[in-house]
Amino acid sequence: MLIVLMGLLACNGAPQTLKIGLVAPFEGLDRAMGYEALFAVKLALQERNAVGGIKGYQIELVALNDFNDPTEAQVQAKALLADPDVLGVVGHLSSATTMAAQPIYQAAGLAVCTPEDITITTTHEQTDLNFAKAYQKLSGFPPTPRAMLVYKATNILLNSIEKAMLINGNGKPSRLAVGSKE
C-alpha cells in the first residue's frame, strides 16, 4: 500500500512545464557573449518560476550553441524545432545568425525575441539596479548592456506565452498561438 501511495505522489508531484530556447555561442571566440546571455535567461526563468511560473507551468530552458556562425544557427534552429514543447526562442545574438535562422522559425510559427529588437529605457532605474544585483549574484560578474537586453527579451517572450495561454483559455499554448501577432 505504501509503495502505491508513493508512486501516486511521484506522478502527481511533477510540475507541468513549458520550454523556451536560447541559441547563442557557447564555444569559440564569442563564448563570453553566449554565457552572459545564458545567465540573463536563467535569471528571468528563476524569477518567473519562483512566483509559480506561467499559469502554474514551470519554464525550462533548452540552450543550444550556434558558435555565432550562420550555418550552425540554421542547424540549431532546426534542432529546436525537433522538440515540440519549445514554444519560443531568445536569440540569436548577432544579425548574421538571426537572419540565417529567422526563415526556419518563421516557417514553423515559432516566436522569436531577439535582443537586438529591445530598447533600453532609463525610466526603470530601480528595476535595472535589481537586475544588476541579481545577475551578479547568479553569474559572479556585473551584467553588460547585452545581458540586460537578453533579460528583457526573455521576459517579453514569457509574457507572450502567458498572453497566448489567456487567449487559449489557460491551456498549454501552441507555437502558433505564442507566435501570433494578435
Give Dmax (Cα) for the chain. 60
Q: For the chain, how big is the Rg over CA atoms in Å?
A: 17
| DSSP result, 24-50 | E--SSTTHHHHHHHHHHHHHHHHHHHH
Residue 77 within any structural domain of the chain? yes
Q: What is the mean pLDDT of the chain?
A: 86
Question: How sure is the predictor about 177, in pLDDT bands with cuts at 50, 70 and 90?
Answer: confident
Among 110, 108, 105, 113, CA closest to 37: 113
User: Is the model's pLDDT at 123 over the cut of 70?
Assistant: no
Residue 137 pLDDT more than 90? yes
Q: Is residue 2 part of a domain?
A: no
Residue carrying C-alpha cell 522569436: 112
Residue 50 lies in a domain: yes
Residue 8 lies in a domain: no
Q: 167 lies in which domain range?
A: 16-177
Higher pLDDT pick, 22 / 122: 22
Give the count of domains, the chain. 1
pLDDT tens digits, 66-105: 999 999 999 999 999 999 999 999 989 999 999 999 999 9
Long-range CB pairs of 93-96 (<8 Å, 24+ gap) are: 93/24, 93/25, 93/30, 93/33, 93/34, 93/37, 93/68, 93/146, 93/150, 94/30, 94/68, 96/68, 96/70
Taking the C-alpha atoms of residue 46 and residue 29, their distance in angstroms, rounded to an integer, is: 28
- In whole angstroms, give the CA distance from residue 178 to residue 46: 21
On the question of a cis peptide bond just before residue 92, with omega within 30 degrees of 0, the verdict is yes
**7 pLDDT exceeds 60?**
no
- 61 part of a folded domain: yes
- 103 belongs to a structural domain: yes
The pLDDT of residue 182 is 45
Give the three cell numbers for residue 152.
528583457
In a domain, 7, yes or no: no
Burial class (CB in 10 A: 0-12, 13-18, 19+), 174: middle
State what percent of residues in the chain have pLDDT above 90. Answer: 66
List, in sequence order, every residue forming a beta bridge with 63; answer none if it has no partner: 22
* CATH (domain of 43): 3.40.50.2300
Cell numbers linked to 85:
514543447
Residue 107 placed within a domain: yes
CB 121 within 8 A of CB 143: no
